[in-house]
Amino acid sequence: MASKVHEQQTVVGAVDPSLGGSHARPSQLHREDDRPADPIGSWAPFGERYHLQRQLGRGGMASVHLASDAVLLREVAIKRIDPPAGFTPDPERFVGEAQITAQLDHPNIPPVHDLVLDGDAPYFVMKAVSGDTLADYLDQRPEVPRDSEVLDDLLVIFLKVCDAIAFAHSRGVVHRDLKPQNVMVDTFGRVYVMDWGLARVLPGSQAERVRVARRGFADDGSGTVSYMAPEQAQPLWRPIGPWTDVFALGALLYEIVSGHPPYFGESHAEVRELAARADIVPLENVVPGGHVPTALSRIVRKATEREPSQRYAGVSQLARDIERFRRGGLGFGSRRFEAGEIIVREGDHGQDAFVITHGKCVAYKTLDDRKVVLREMGPGDVFGEMAVFSSRPRSASVEALEATVVRVVGRHLLQEGLGLDTWMGAFVRALTDRFREVEEKLERLERSRTE
């Protein structure tokens, strides 16, 4: 694939993840500007309670400062309207952002402590979050394909983001600008979804009482094009809703796995066109060697379908599949066998292996009409695995000694989860055949000894 710079530009994003003027024009792209930082104490409508320490960052229409709270004796972050020269601020929309965020009382969303309406320069006070953005976190771990431990750490972060967004959706709020820069991971591993400046309130929701009802704003293409759903990149093609955040979460997951966002282009316009078509190169084609667990690739594809109706019905369903992937479940089913029932029979062909979750079984072979017990098995033991990796008949029977419940592990599920159709799968199959050959030799020796 040609090397291209991916677009991290956003219509109203922020330099710091806690920033975000929510009313910039589409042509005003996210950028550092040349405005000097305020010297400490030069802007002081905070009274005697809040004392500015330093500026944390600046976005298109707002800036955020670290401050100390003289009453509660803690550090806080203060966000205030701070537009560049020539731009008219929109205090009502800024107030709406504060009110929306304040209603999202969730561990993975920084709380808003106070909102002060100071004429045309309102500001709100929120929890000060220190740490790295997810973008920084990914930059510090550039190796792709991901080491399994690193991938699992990233998926844990992703699931916490899902928790926050699922909660917001339950309150009728859509974020609309999910990206690594708007996710903070603090020094204790706590995860926060930041910058709700583009959030939309859905009709009839609990958050509808905010001063500015965001549902009245036109779909103007605001957002970050590298993670945009088609309905954002192509306004009025489809309505904005929770499914829009589902797509952005899929795009975020794409970057977690591959190391970069799903869209690349030479210009902002080109990337937006790709976003309008949801033209995403499959993960297997961008990760070196194509080493992507099939189940994880399938989750990303479903979350980033072009048609909203084809995506996950909600964030909880997406999170559920990620959790299953992490646990290795991959949708394995369960079966129950009563005492005396044969679970697998020697000589049969099968494509399933089994993991005992409850009960006891016995594995045995039949030699010259004699039942030769091989071993007894209990919870956690695995049997029938040869059938998953080989097309040969089963070499032993397994009978339930008592009521037994097993997880059924099908060959197709392992092919998806472990990539048995790759070179690694060929390696595993070769080892299986070797073990099978040794087993058959031992069986022939056993027969010759009894003759």
Based on the domain organization, do 242 and 294 belong to the same domain?
Answer: yes
Output the pLDDT for position 447.
59
For Cα atoms 396, 370, 399, give the angle at the middle one, nearest 5 degrees.
40
Domain membership of residue 165 (yes or no) is yes
HSE-up of residue 196 (Cα within 13 Å, Cβ side): 29
DSSP character string of 18-45: T---TT--TTS------PPPPPTTSS--
Mean pLDDT in the chain? 81
Model confidence pLDDT, tens digit, residues 247-278: 999 999 999 999 999 998 889 999 999 999 99
Domain membership of residue 123 (yes or no) is no
Based on the domain organization, do 235 and 146 belong to the same domain?
Answer: yes
Q: Compute the average pLDDT of residues 403-416.
A: 74
Output the pLDDT for position 422.
55
Output the pLDDT for position 313.
97
What CATH number corresponds to the domain at position 321?
1.10.510.10
The fraction of the chain above a pLDDT of 70, given in percent, is 75
User: Is the pLDDT at 78 greater than 90, yes or no?
Assistant: yes
Question: Could you give the number of structural domains in the chain?
Answer: 2
d(CA 178, CA 133): 12
pLDDT band at 340 (very low <50, low <70, confident <90, very high): very high
In the listed set 295, 327, 359, which residue is the last one of a domain according to the structure? 327
Output the pLDDT for position 305.
97
Based on the domain organization, do 259 and 361 belong to the same domain?
Answer: no
Output the pLDDT for position 221.
78
Domain membership of residue 270 (yes or no) is yes
Based on the domain organization, do 294 and 396 belong to the same domain?
Answer: no
In the listed set 304, 327, 350, which residue is the last one of a domain according to the structure? 327
> Strand 123-127 vs strand 131-133: parallel, antiparallel, or unpaired?
unpaired
> Strand 382-383 vs strand 352-358: parallel, antiparallel, or unpaired?
antiparallel
Based on the domain organization, do 149 and 290 belong to the same domain?
Answer: yes
Contact (CB, 8 A) for 255 and 297: no
Based on the domain organization, do 178 and 260 belong to the same domain?
Answer: yes
* Residue 118 annotated among the catalytic residues of the structure: no
Annotated active-site residue in 69, 90, 177, 219: 177
Domain membership of residue 4 (yes or no) is no
Based on the domain organization, do 136 and 210 belong to the same domain?
Answer: yes
Alpha helices in 264-384 (DSSP H): 268-277, 283-286, 294-303, 315-327
Model confidence pLDDT, tens digit, residues 81-117: 888 777 887 788 888 889 999 999 999 999 999 998 8
In the listed set 327, 352, 384, which residue is the last one of a domain according to the structure? 327
Based on the domain organization, do 290 and 323 belong to the same domain?
Answer: yes
Structural domain harbouring 209: 130-327
Q: Which of 340, 337, 346, 342 is nearest to 407 (CA)?
A: 337
Based on the domain organization, do 316 and 174 belong to the same domain?
Answer: yes
HSE-up of residue 174 (Cα within 13 Å, Cβ side): 24
Q: Compute the average pLDDT of residues 220-236.
A: 90
User: Is the pLDDT at 325 greater than 80, yes or no?
Assistant: yes
Based on the domain organization, do 287 and 338 belong to the same domain?
Answer: no
Based on the domain organization, do 259 and 186 belong to the same domain?
Answer: yes
Distances (CA, A) of 168 to 16, 154, 249, 252, 313: 22, 21, 14, 17, 15
d(CA 99, CA 106): 14
